[in-house]
Homo-oligomer: A and B are copies of this chain.
Amino acid sequence: MDKPVKKPRTRIQKEKRELILEAGLEVFASHGFRGSTVDQIAEAAGMSKPNLLYYFNTKEEIFTTLIQRLMEAWLAPLREMDEAGDPATEIRSYIRRKIEMARDFPRESRLFANEILQGAPRIHHLLKGELKELVDEKAAVIRGWMRAGKLKKSDPHHFIFAIWATTQHYADFDVQVRAVLGPDKGGEGRFEDAARFLEGLFLGERLPGV
């Protein structure tokens, strides 16, 4: 006889569940699922543990709720890539959007990275399903652009992977990036620098004759 999954009914429930999810994001992102305790999340949300468990039946329920939402937000930029648009512009704004997400939602990125690193036990089906479908579709679009000579020919799947890897790097490996860049180059401008560099990498032309 399982307890039913809590659906928010009252105003308080909506608010408190949001509060808990925000706290969960903070805690999960910095310690991973196993490394986070319900007590930590409760404290971050400013309530007692039993109180928290009144809104979410289990620790896992908080986590899965978070990651489900996250996937949507995470795929949105790729979804917006428009076949009818100008290829260079489309790629450029995709990179921009991804870098902005790394800058503005690093916790979400880290939470996601954490899950994948551990073998994605909770979202494996989403990767093989929804994600693969979307990527295959957009890879076909990119391949079309390449065939039309609008983009240098290469493997579209690995092209997408490379954009993911480089942009998310600035969220997931932020400590390392800042440590290496140092206080001067590692300031707030690092995301702008990264965006410019990545545009050049993925779109820029090379020196002629080299």
Contacts and interface: CB of A to CB of B under 8 A. Distances in A.
Nearest to A159: B197
A105 interface: no
Nearest to A87: B210
Nearest to A205: B206
A179 B118 contact: no
Contacts of A158: 193-194, 197-198
Contact of A116 (B131, B151, B175, B207): B175
Contact of A34 (B35, B179, B180): B35
A79 interface: no
A136 B186 CA distance: 13
B204 A152 contact: yes
A132 interface: yes
Interface in A140-167: 149-152, 154-155, 157-159, 161-162, 164-166
A44 to B, nearest CB: 16
Given A135-B180, A176-B127, A206-B205, A118 B35 contact: yes
Tier of interface size on chain A:
35 or more
A159 B155 CA distance: 20
B155 A197 contact: yes
30 contacts: A30-B119, A31-B118, A32-B35, A32-B114, A32-B118, A33-B35, A113-B113, A113-B172, A116-B173, A116-B176, A117-B172, A120-B175, A120-B176, A127-B175, A127-B179, A127-B180, A132-B182, A136-B180, A151-B210, A154-B200, A154-B204, A155-B196, A158-B194, A158-B197, A161-B180, A162-B166, A201-B201, A201-B202, A205-B206, A205-B210
Interface of A: 30-35, 110, 113-114, 116-120, 124, 127-128, 131-132, 135-136, 149-152, 154-155, 157-159, 161-162, 164-166, 168-170, 172-173, 175-177, 179-182, 185, 193-194, 196-198, 200-202, 204-208, 210
